[in-house]
Amino acid sequence: MSLLTQLRQQNPVVLTVANMVTPADVANGLNVLGASPIMSKAVEEAEDMVKLAQAVTINLGTVDAGQRKEMLAVLDAAEKYHVPAVFDPVACAASRYRQETAAELLNTYRFACIRGNAGEIAALAGCDWQSRGIDAGSGTGDLTAIAKKCAAKYQTVVAMTGESDIITDGQELVEIPFGSPLFAVHVGTGDMFSSIIAAFVALGGSPLDAAASACEVFALCGQIAAKEAQTPSRWYELFLDKLYQASDDLLASWKKELQKEEER
């Protein structure tokens, strides 16, 4: 049975410690896919929330002192109850404060997966890269080598998303094509993606397989939507609806359609 089918049957609860910009995107993405989103701000309920969840996502997007405490409380509980965690290091190179917070989290806890763009993964790996704010930026490094280095450094699976998605545990490598440039135009798709990876990780199998499956579903839905709409707002509406409709059969036929097109 595919992981997507399992996800729709098990309806895992994903707790996201979210940024303030895109929590609705994250919640709706999880919801249309068949997972169940919860969010919380109170450190007092961190443990109870983690006990409800089958996976958690930590999003660095608008971290401040209060949320930093909440992240630590959630990750403590996740460790205690063996709930896997995904980390989204949003704009982690943009400030010393984010760098330190990311380092504290990564050095204290072990994540099932880190999902970020090339600039964020390069910063975590300690590689040179030119990034700017929340954008991926551009660099000359070998993307695969950077992803592997980051995965090895933190003993985790890295999903580096972009034109192609690169997923690696430091040794094995999966590459998923089908990235659409429209993903970068709608703010919040990255945040949503990290929480969707968590929903796949929640199923309990290998994080590498979970991240690869999530990437394929996400990218296929995005690119098939981009065939129908080339403007970002209309595209985003279609993309969410594709996530909602996606089944193993539909995904297979979309994949065939997109591969045929590429061959032309």
* Binding residues among 172-201 for its own copies as defined by CB under 8 A: 185-188
Residue span binding its own copies (CB under 8 A) among the ranges 77-85, 96-104, 171-179, 212-220: 96-104
CA neighbor of 36 nearest in space, from 3, 7, 59, 60: 7
Element (H, E) at 10: helix 3-10
What angle is formed at CA 77 by the lines to CA 99 and CA 215, rounded to 5 degrees? Answer: 60
Name residue, tokens 């080598």.
Answer: 145
119 is in an annotated binding site: no
Q: Is 40 in the site for its own copies (CB under 8 A)?
A: yes
Q: Which two tokens stand for residue 165?
A: 């998605």
Figure out which of the listed residues 5, 9, 42, 142 binds its own copies, where binding follows CB under 8 A.
42
Q: How many residues bind its own copies (CB under 8 A)?
A: 59
Specify burial of residue 118 (Cβ count, 10 A radius: 0-12, 13-18, 19+).
buried
Burial of 92-114, coded b for 16+ CB within 10 Å and e otherwise, reads: bbbeeebeebbeebbeebebbbb
* Binding residues among 119-138 for its own copies as defined by CB under 8 A: 132-135
Total count of residues recorded for the chain: 264
Q: Which two tokens stand for residue 13?
A: 């609860």
Q: Which two tokens stand for residue 243?
A: 């996530």
Q: Is 62 in the site for its own copies (CB under 8 A)?
A: yes
156 is in an annotated binding site: no
Residue span binding its own copies (CB under 8 A) among the ranges 59-67, 102-110, 155-163, 167-175: 59-67
Q: Is 142 in the site for its own copies (CB under 8 A)?
A: no
Q: How far is the CB of 243 from its own copies (least distance, A)?
A: 9
Figure out which of the listed residues 55, 56, 63, 174 binds its own copies, where binding follows CB under 8 A.
63
39 is in an annotated binding site: yes
Q: Is 64 in the site for its own copies (CB under 8 A)?
A: yes
115 is in an annotated binding site: yes
Diameter of the chain measured on Cα atoms: 57
Specify burial of residue 189 (Cβ count, 10 A radius: 0-12, 13-18, 19+).
buried
As annotated, the binding site for ATP includes 115, 161
Q: Name the site residues for its own copies (rule: CB under 8 A).
A: 13, 18-25, 27-28, 31-32, 36-45, 48-49, 52-53, 61-67, 91, 94-98, 132-135, 185-188, 231-234, 236-238, 240-241, 244-245
As annotated, the binding site includes 39, 115, 161, 188
